[in-house]
Amino acid sequence: MENNNNLIAKSSGLKTKDYIAYAMGDVGCCLVFSLVASVLQTFYTDVLILNPLFVMLIFVIARVWDAINDPMMGRICDVTKPTKWGKYRHWFIWGGIPLAASAILMFAKFPGLVVENTATIGAYIFAGVTYIIFGMLYTMVQIPYGSLASVVTLDEKERTKLSVFRSVGSTLGSLPVMVLQMVMFDENKAVKYNVLIIGVIIMAVLSLAALIYAFYGNVERVKIEPKVRQKGDTKKAVKNALTNRSLLAIAVAGMLLLAGQMFTQSYYTYLIRQYFGRKGIWISLPTILTYVPMAILMCFTPKLVRKFGKKEITAVGMVIAAVCNFAMFFLQFLPRDIALYGFMGLCFISGFGLNLFALQVWAMATDAIDDVEVKTGSKESGTAYSVFMFFRKMGQVISAVAVNGALVSFGYFASASSDFTFTESQLSMMFNLATLIPAVMFGIMALVLFFWYPLSKQKVAELQDAKEKRLEEAEKTI
């Protein structure tokens, strides 16, 4: 086993600069994805004046296409011969440039798309096409980036730290959109489009710069030969991933995490403006307060993982988040100004629970992918990761259905959206949905992590030993 540990060590020994370079990959991705998560919904309903039913529909159609597109990109990563830069990181350049361009195009408001404050057929076609193109290009970068962790290091402790840095990178990439949300509305709560599009362009350029940094800064230490193409391999690889309990459970948990995050980030924009009657920093404050605990937890999470295990601390974290969101429901019985401060306080406390999981979700996904490899004897990280990412994208569907379904029920549509007035009963329903939907999502996540996801602290240690044995066997065959 000593020799085996030396084999692991060959791909280990990461330094701070390596963790930063890895984190920059998600900084780049989240700079553009946060636009989709936080302001695209408002752009569609308030600028292009699109019917919320249509917005919901294009999210669903895009995810149906992802069922084909994501595994396809995963297979391309698995079977393509490595370039001189490795198997994955060159996609940061090949996909990053068109991704940045597509993000800007997605928020373009060309003359003729909206006539007399009403969306034209061209606006619907334009929105659908540009959103799907953006999704495909995002997949082109995200699948290789997610697979990169498996070739940066084999050490489980270093992967835990990589997950923390990735989550921090995700948060940093999401900060600019919070600033954009603060300044993109005028005194009448209407969108200032010139401010919005300038913000989008700046974030797209920064996204490309971060991806270029990640391209040059990362090193693929684990050498993987491309898998020889054989008929039926793709179907088999996807089946292996979908039938693996570890991967399926963490994929469902990841799906619900993204659904909850996107729902609150999109829906709170309407909630803060309409229910609480606030604008400016108040619109972004719930998201800011949710992320602040990450700055505290990132210093302690690796130690907590070593003592208790990833599964154990994340499950408890989701209980905290679920309880806090359920407690928000009862704030509606307080005066609205008092409820506002209680709401913000519970967002902050909920953030501690959410971020325990957010900081470890990528490491847990990598553990699950290792579990697939150990149990099937085949290393197809790209395909397995694409399955995980597809489930996360399904979280976007859940969020889109919840947000737009609520808006449709309120009649928030078309030219009336800019000055739509909610009744008190509608505002009450808006608040109920804003609190109970996340509470249910986070509660289900806690159950998944406690009872379905099998990789406890002990199981992860056993998995690490199994990986070492596979390395030793592979070394003997060379």
| pLDDT exceeds cutoff 70 at 231 | no
Which domains does the chain show, CATH number per domain? 15-220+233-477 (1.20.1250.20)
pLDDT reported for residue 221: 78
pLDDT digits (tens, 9 = 90+) for 58-95: 888 887 787 778 878 887 887 778 888 888 899 999 99
| pLDDT at position 152 | 84
Which of 233-247, 312-326, 353-367 has the largest mean confidence?
312-326
Radius of gyration of the chain (CA): 22
Q: Does the structure show a pLDDT above 90 at 98? A: yes
SS3 (DSSP) at 283: helix
Residue 376 has pLDDT above 70, yes or no: yes
Residue 402: partners with Cβ closer than 8 Å, 6 or more residues away: 259, 263, 267, 433, 437
Least confident of 106-120, 188-202, 375-389: 375-389
Interval 137-166: pLDDT, tens: 999 998 899 888 878 887 778 888 888 898
Q: In whole angstroms, what is the distance from residue 367 CA to residue 251 CA?
A: 12
d(CA 175, CA 191): 19
Q: What percent of the chain is predicted at pLDDT more than 70?
A: 91
Nearest partner of 8 among 380, 378, 463, 467, judged by Cα: 467
pLDDT of residue 477: 53
Number of neighbouring beta carbons within 10 Å of residue 267: 22
Other beta carbons within 10 Å of 476: 7
pTM, two decimal places: 0.76
Give tens-digit pLDDT for 282-337.
988 998 899 899 888 988 888 899 899 999 999 999 999 999 999 999 999 999 99
Residue 471 confidence (pLDDT): 62
Apex CA 39: angle with CA 173 and CA 162, to 5°? 20
Q: Is 357:249 a contact under the CB 8 Å cutoff?
A: no
Say what the pLDDT of residue 283 is.
87
Comparing 239 with 20, the larger pLDDT belongs to: 20
Banded model confidence at residue 357, pLDDT cuts 50, 70, 90: very high
pLDDT at 419 over 90: no
The per-residue pLDDT of the chain, averaged, comes to: 86
pLDDT at 244 > cutoff 90? yes
* Backbone φ, ψ for residue 224 (5° rounding): -125, 125
Q: Which among 181, 395, 180 is positioned nearest to 272, based on CA atoms?
A: 181
The pLDDT, as a whole number, for residue 279 is: 81
pLDDT at 11 over 70: no
Pair 448, 245: CB distance under 8 Å:
no
Could you tell me the two tokens for 348? Answer: 């902050």
